[in-house]
Structure 1
């Protein structure tokens, strides 16, 4: 790259240079040169130093390392830059990220620089098939099947999500996201407003107290289990506020808000479910993100302005609690998760769920040819679905509705990163049986391509 090209770009970044009478430090830059003013301002700001402190050598090719040094110095003046200048600095910082890392400007610093707006997202193409379950007769004598068997017409679907992450300052981040939702390839077009692109993320995240405290307000993704458990009942869009204290050993979380997806969002005859929740987590052997973890969590539910409903086709839980343990040992991870839901009408209707999963390896989107394999067991009481068999929540689980309620079932799966940011995932249930009644649901096969960007 020519120095004069970098100088032309850097001229817009000389945000710390305001003195019009700064002395020219380079003997080879005459006062009548087209680049004279920019070079003097850049030198005065400390962004360029020239060669041996005396010569600019404007026609010399410079290395990427030298260009990265200029970008690093421009980043130091980021707080004085305009919106346009910040955008250019961010673009150059992304281009020279590796060199900046070598200079000691770590990736975390790049991601948190003021004015940074980063677009990310993912796309999923999915195939699902469920064999026909056992037949039974309902109360009116009509013959039914415990699950809606998927045909070739509705087995294939897709979803695309885009996220914009804006770093406002060193403590505040704004996130906005949109999603297509799950769209069947059999659809010729949007059949209803539910098939339109919707906002699934819109929140402000504020860190304070030495970055140990975190306040999240707006529309975010709420996971019962805080990302470490199985995510049985819910892991989706949620409108609320959450306060968390955390360090490498411990986290305490409290929040309140309203579920925005599934029957819990009010798809039946009520206005939707709200919850106040709390969670305590402990971390060991690797910290809060990559280490082992144990935790307990509690939810207190209210429906339609504070009341609880008891009808079968409506949400009828008063509260729930759960506990999990996720333990790493070598390349293995063992997860155990238990949840109990207390109904409003009778203790006899308090369903429980047990989940266990054993995983070997780790399929990392950033690491081609990385993979993992897992086996899981799920035991869920009757009570998590309405009379039509529709699951109440919007779960993290890969299973269809009929394999999440009144069921004991095993599952296996493999995840393989076949290229950077591209992964193939396959899952299969087996030995599935109903806990009550004689009708067993059919087995589910699921395969999907997931791309992140």
Structure 2
């Protein structure tokens, strides 16, 4: 694109940013007053948004590079406090397009976000298909689209807000979920710790024992040794094998998660958690006759070469039976939504007994009608790939069989394919 055309387009988008009080004198010998781009070039030059060369020329017929365009965007960003809402939106789009070049210029795009709006909006959509070899009325194949809208707000230099709207559309025509605010919390500093207050995801360590949402508070502190102390009520009802339709109350949760950076490549982790039924509703009777269940775990993750990683975890609950869980996984590279052509693969083996974990991160974790009481053990293989920018494909397969002696002996083949879009 020629420089004079770029200058004209830039002027149309950001002309009001620097105002019109600058004297529109001719700064370049090769831009005559009668030229169609004269007004745009002179006003932007006066505002300091475009530059010429040392010989006093603009060289408007020269093709502009992305780096030069990034310089124009950077200067427009510097004047964004004077821009209109429409102009700020244009500058925002340009800052995203030239983000890498702006980083090279040491320009923080987040600076623009702070100036242009107190809320940053982003989103993602996940199209997922799942199927099982053993089909039942309550455990059949599914085809769903999950949409999430992320809201990031700056309150002040120490506190921020995050909200997440979520909706799931059943593409088999069997009904949709309502739009919910499944995350909503404030985050900031209190007495040297980072406090999170509200409704937030709590995903501990590698997700073997806990991957759920908590209504409560979390305090994170430490550097090399990091700790997360949390308290609240689990926002999900399908924990410890309960049904969302039957369970009418939420379990109280207290816990402490630990993470230790043993080296640049290796992280050790652990945790201790308690789940309690305060109303004696019988929601824990699948696992114990008590009104509470305690869980502990320990694990690690290491990047033993630039491309290969190894992770593993072991956990137990104090349930009466079927109380242990463990897994080990080896991974190769990994798809990055910002790097077209990037990919990864993994294989793991897991043994998740029926009463070990309240809510695990593993998809297709349990066999025979998908019931927690049967447990599951077996292997999983998967692959992910980034075909185009901000789009990630993933496929996985798991071969599982029950762990409980009272469960059916049938094996379960679990299939999952999904594509995620980020915007």
TM range (shorter): 0.7 to 0.9
How far apart are the structure 1 equivalents of 2:145 and 2:360? Answer: 16
Among candidates 413, 416, 419, match of residue 384 of structure 2: 416
Q: How does 1:282-293 map to 2 (within 5 A)?
A: 282-286=260-264, 291-293=265-267
How far apart are the structure 2 equivalents of 1:433 and 1:269? Answer: 24
How far apart are the structure 2 equivalents of 1:444 and 1:238? Answer: 31
Q: How does 1:320-339 map to 2 (within 5 A)?
A: 320-330=295-305, 331-339=307-315
Among candidates 121, 126, 149, match of residue 163 of structure 1: 149
Among candidates 382, 395, 399, match of residue 425 of structure 1: 395
Give CA-to-partner distance per residue, 1:325-371, whole Å, 9 cap, x none.
2233224433332333346xxxxx27532212221313314352623
Going from structure 1 to structure 2, the CA distance change for 1:310 and 1:405 (only over 3 Å counts) comes to closer
Among candidates 68, 71, 78, match of residue 69 of structure 1: 71
The answer for the alignment partner of 1:197 in structure 2 is 179
The answer for the alignment partner of 1:259 in structure 2 is 234
Q: Which runs of 5+ in 1 are unaligned?
A: 132-148, 344-348, 385-391
> Contact 1:161/1:177 (CA < 8 Å) preserved in 2?
no
Going from structure 1 to structure 2, the CA distance change for 1:416 and 1:8 (only over 3 Å counts) comes to closer
Q: How does 1:102-113 map to 2 (within 5 A)?
A: 102-105=104-107
> Contact 1:123/1:161 (CA < 8 Å) preserved in 2?
yes
1:197 is displaced (CA, Å) by 3.0
SS at match of 2:335: coil
The answer for the alignment partner of 1:272 in structure 2 is 250
The answer for the alignment partner of 2:346 in structure 1 is 373
The answer for the alignment partner of 1:360 in structure 2 is 331
The answer for the alignment partner of 1:179 in structure 2 is 166
> Contact 2:22/2:46 (CA < 8 Å) preserved in 1?
no
The answer for the alignment partner of 1:137 in structure 2 is none
The answer for the alignment partner of 2:122 in structure 1 is 119
> Contact 1:268/1:313 (CA < 8 Å) preserved in 2?
no
Q: Which runs of 5+ in 2 are unaligned?
A: none
SS at match of 2:207: coil
How far apart are the structure 1 equivalents of 2:112 and 2:349? Answer: 39
Q: What is the Cα-based RMSD across aligned positions, in Å? A: 4.1
SS at match of 2:67: helix
> Contact 1:422/1:450 (CA < 8 Å) preserved in 2?
yes
Give CA-to-partner distance per residue, 1:257-298, whole Å, 9 cap, x none.
322223349753542113232222112443xxxx42112222
Going from structure 1 to structure 2, the CA distance change for 1:350 and 1:84 (only over 3 Å counts) comes to farther
Going from structure 1 to structure 2, the CA distance change for 1:360 and 1:269 (only over 3 Å counts) comes to closer
The answer for the alignment partner of 2:54 in structure 1 is 52
Q: How does 1:398-413 map to 2 (within 5 A)?
A: 398-402=363-367, 404-407=372-375, 409-413=377-381
TM-score by length of 2: 0.77
TM-score by length of 1: 0.73
Q: Are residues 1:90 and 2:117 paired?
A: no
The answer for the alignment partner of 1:146 in structure 2 is none
SS at match of 1:434: coil
Among candidates 277, 292, 298, match of residue 317 of structure 1: 292
> Contact 1:171/1:207 (CA < 8 Å) preserved in 2?
yes
> Contact 1:241/1:257 (CA < 8 Å) preserved in 2?
yes
Give CA-to-partner distance per residue, 1:301-321, whole Å, 9 cap, x none.
34457x685762699424332
SS at match of 2:303: strand
Going from structure 1 to structure 2, the CA distance change for 1:283 and 1:122 (only over 3 Å counts) comes to farther
Q: How does 1:390-401 map to 2 (within 5 A)?
A: 393-401=358-366
The answer for the alignment partner of 1:217 in structure 2 is 197
Q: Which moved more, 1:157-166 or 1:107-116?
A: 107-116
Among candidates 389, 406, 416, match of residue 437 of structure 1: 406
